[in-house]
Amino acid sequence: MNATKENNIRPVWHTKTFEEIFTILETDGEGLDYSEVERRIEKYGKNKLPEVAPDSILRIFLRQFESPLIYVLIAAAGVVLLLGEGLDAVVIFAVLLINAIIGSIQEGRAQNTIASLRKFIETKATVLRDGREVIIPDNELVPGDIIVVQEGERVPADARLITIRNLRVSEAALTGESVPVRKTTDTPTWDEIAVSDRRNMIYRGTHITTGTGRAIIVGTGLNTEIGTIAKEIVSINNDVPLKIEIGRLARLIVIITALISISLFTIGIVAGKGVIEMLLTVVTLSVSVVPEGLPIVLTVVLATGVWRMSKQNALVKRMQAVEALGQIDILAVDKTGTLTRNEIIVQKIYTNNKFFKVGGVGYEPHGEIILDGAEVEVANHPELLLLGKMSSLCASARVLFNNETNQWNISGDPTEAAMLVLSQKLGFHKDVFENEFPIISEMPFDYNLKYHAVLNREGDINVLSLSGAPEIILDFCNTIIINGDTITINETMRSEIELVLMGMSKDGLRVIALATLKGVSDLPSITTPPHATFVGFLGMHDALRSEVPSIVMRARDAGVRTVMITGDHRVTAQAVASEAGIFSEGDKILTGRDIDTMSDEELTNTIQSVSVFARVTPEHKIKIIRAYKSAGNIIAMTGDGVNDAPSLSAADLGVSMGVVGTEVAKSASDIVLLDDNLE
């Protein structure tokens, strides 16, 4: 039975306790037995999306004839053949055949390349069956199953969390939010919550960055959030501008030819000419008006454009997309993974009353440290040495170089990975530290406590290192290190530190505070909070791709306005858009909530003054695309995530990332950037 045979009414799972879900799905904490699983597979279907078979060579070939202009040419060739002009008919049919062969070769190459981009990996899932943990292929999961998730795994289906331990999930591919989301088992009392804010849910295709948990599956196959997006993509019917213009040209040719033919036929009959004579004259004139060479000229020109773009690592799936690229006047870009690298890095340091900027590319462990516009030697700044040492001690993540992809990858929490990369830029190596300063005890980051504590042995004394939410760490601190001296924090100094924190937050940075304490015997607790020394702030953000500002400027010079559409928060979106050159003073920012309150007409009238759309869902993105089209704009959309796929399909031109992009996004787009380079 197909997965679509799921009940039509989907409960609002995030508003229900897991006890209520147990009742609805007729299960318990011990999981399902195998006979019940078989029954549910029959009822709900396999946990997979419908697979669309690649088009056959014949289907690709026949698709080349799907154009009103081609229909006109075929009709003209048929009439010429009936008039006994066999050679002319053969020439027309030969032109159409050559045109179809060229188009088929190009589309076939694109389809083969897309197929090679798909790295099929059978994901496994840990599930409770008959009270025991077993590992099975994820397509065998059913609603009511109890799954176990842990760090590094991909979530196999939509599920409501039952128990968690420091669980954080990267939902960038689904929601566009770059920072991993901390999960909870709490049950909200209202149902109108965006997917990105449903903290007690995990969704298929997202990734566990840290922690572990158990959850009950509530949606599989098409009845997942990704499945919903897949259904939206199928419902979207969109043509590139050139195809629309060719259709208009064909209709115009038919109308004008018909009017001229009727007029000429009428005049000839009035002038005393014979019916057969005038009929032959009209048919000959009609055939001569049809531009037989236009299709092959267009195909050759577009194929040349495709070839040139392929030299720049751009895969064109539809030749007509080349022409659409030259018509666009609005370029809508996604933030996470498109404008940014989807790599959280430390950009700014505040310590010893100084601001340091941190250079480097992504997770690469190299980069310059800049103070007042000049690069500094880290060894000459004791405050940087202390901060780098603490960043290394507090980082549980790992950064590894992948020789196959020639990229640096992380394992563990992205925030702690950013701290580890910073420590390496400052000259520290965690492997050496772990031997020199052995860990006595450690308290991983806890969602409720909001800090990470690690106790190390340094020579004859114990040293406590704290990292976490600034408001929590600052409450622990009664002293601060200034120019090497530890002094008491007075109210004036505390206010100044808080102003620094506010300023960094307004710049769209995610701020982590660091503090230290020597001579302690144990980790802090709720009843015995530490009296620590404040060391500094780390300002993190998702690294902007180096080529983005110049691309935005060149697009503007070419008459193309760039706007950003993202699921991230308003402040973060504005900061990134400003850095990229997209947002300027006086521009408007619209959020998903703003769009919900506007009619289609109001959005269309407002949209020209907006440069940033924040906290939007896939449904909002489609509404934005349609508003631009209603305003008469030709719009291109770039993206990489599952949440971008509907808008990639709805835009006049969809462009996806080939390296970091999801398979759904690549399938929905017209052009795939094989190296993720927007230039």
Q: What CATH number does the domain containing 161 carry?
A: 2.70.150.10
Query: Given this model, what pLDDT does residue 240 score?
Result: 63
Both tokens of 591, joined, read: 């959020």
Say what the pTM is: 0.67
518 belongs to a structural domain:
yes
| Length reported for the chain | 679
Both tokens of 301, joined, read: 């020109």
Statement to judge: residues 137 and 30 lie in one domain: yes
Query: Given this model, what pLDDT does residue 10 score?
Result: 58
Statement to judge: residues 98 and 246 lie in one domain: yes
CATH of the domain at 586: 3.40.50.1000
Strand, helix or coil at 91?
helix
- The distance of Cα 678 from the centroid of its chain, to the nearest Å, equals 15
Query: Given this model, what pLDDT does residue 612 score?
Result: 95
- The distance of Cα 532 from the centroid of its chain, to the nearest Å, equals 40
Distances (CA, A) of 391 to 349, 383, 395, 418, 468: 12, 12, 6, 9, 11
613 belongs to a structural domain:
yes
Contact 46, 140 (CB under 8 A): yes
Contact 530, 333 (CB under 8 A): no
Strand, helix or coil at 200?
coil
How many domains does the structure of the chain reveal? Answer: 4
Spatial CA neighbour of 300 closest among 61, 68, 106? 106
- Please give the Cα distance from 354 to 347 (Å, whole number): 14
Both tokens of 252, joined, read: 């115009």
Statement to judge: residues 491 and 614 lie in one domain: no
- Please give the Cα distance from 158 to 125 (Å, whole number): 13
- Please give the Cα distance from 663 to 651 (Å, whole number): 18
Contact 648, 671 (CB under 8 A): no
**Averaged in consecutive runs of 10 residues, what is the pLDDT profile of the chain (679 residues)?**
42 85 88 90 85 69 73 73 74 76 62 44 79 89 93 90 89 77 83 80 88 92 83 66 72 82 87 78 71 68 75 78 82 84 89 94 90 93 94 88 78 86 92 84 79 90 92 93 93 94 87 93 76 94 85 92 88 87 92 91 94 88 92 90 82 83 76 78
Is 334 an active-site residue?
yes
Cite the beta strand spans of 287-364 per DSSP E: 314-316, 330-334, 340-351, 354-358
Q: In degrees rounded to 5, what are phi and psi of residue 83?
A: -80, 0
49 belongs to a structural domain:
no
> 622-642 burial by CB neighbour count: b if 16+ within 10 A, else e?
bbbbbbbbeeebbbbbbbbbb
- Please give the Cα distance from 385 to 389 (Å, whole number): 6
- Please give the Cα distance from 618 to 636 (Å, whole number): 16
Statement to judge: residues 411 and 377 lie in one domain: yes
Both tokens of 467, joined, read: 């990292």
Statement to judge: residues 201 and 229 lie in one domain: yes
Contact 390, 535 (CB under 8 A): yes
Show which of 543, 575, 603 is a domain's final residue: 543
Statement to judge: residues 378 and 483 lie in one domain: yes
Statement to judge: residues 478 and 379 lie in one domain: yes
50 belongs to a structural domain:
no
Evaluated on CA atoms 8, 11, 14, 20, the torsion sign reads negative
48 belongs to a structural domain:
no
- The distance of Cα 493 from the centroid of its chain, to the nearest Å, equals 41
367 belongs to a structural domain:
yes
Q: In degrees rounded to 5, what are phi and psi of residue 673?
A: -85, 105
- Please give the Cα distance from 83 to 281 (Å, whole number): 11
- Please give the Cα distance from 655 to 314 (Å, whole number): 9
**Opening angle at CA 637, ends 632 and 640, nearest 5:** 165
Contacts of 126 (CB under 8 A, 6+ apart): 133, 134, 135, 147, 148, 149, 150
Q: What's 587's DSSP letter?
A: -
CATH of the domain at 483: 3.40.1110.10
- Please give the Cα distance from 317 to 321 (Å, whole number): 8
66 belongs to a structural domain:
yes
Show which of 515, 543, 571 is a domain's final residue: 543
Both tokens of 465, joined, read: 């290192």
Evaluated on CA atoms 495, 500, 505, 510, the torsion sign reads negative
Statement to judge: residues 277 and 317 lie in one domain: no
Statement to judge: residues 63 and 17 lie in one domain: no
Which residue's entry shows tokens 């960094």? 504
Query: Given this model, what pLDDT does residue 245 score?
Result: 74
Statement to judge: residues 378 and 484 lie in one domain: yes
- Please give the Cα distance from 149 to 205 (Å, whole number): 13
Cite the beta strand spans of 415-476 per DSSP E: 439-443, 451-458, 461-468
- Please give the Cα distance from 113 to 318 (Å, whole number): 13
Both tokens of 437, joined, read: 């300063």
Between helices 86-117 and 294-310, what is the axis angle to 10°? 20
Statement to judge: residues 461 and 472 lie in one domain: yes
Query: Given this model, what pLDDT does residue 116 score?
Result: 42
Statement to judge: residues 386 and 492 lie in one domain: yes
Structural domain that includes position 435:
342-543
Catalytic pick from 334, 507, 568, 676? 334
- Please give the Cα distance from 285 to 252 (Å, whole number): 16
33 belongs to a structural domain:
yes
Show which of 247, 278, 302 is a domain's final residue: 302
Between helices 86-117 and 68-82, what is the axis angle to 10°? 150
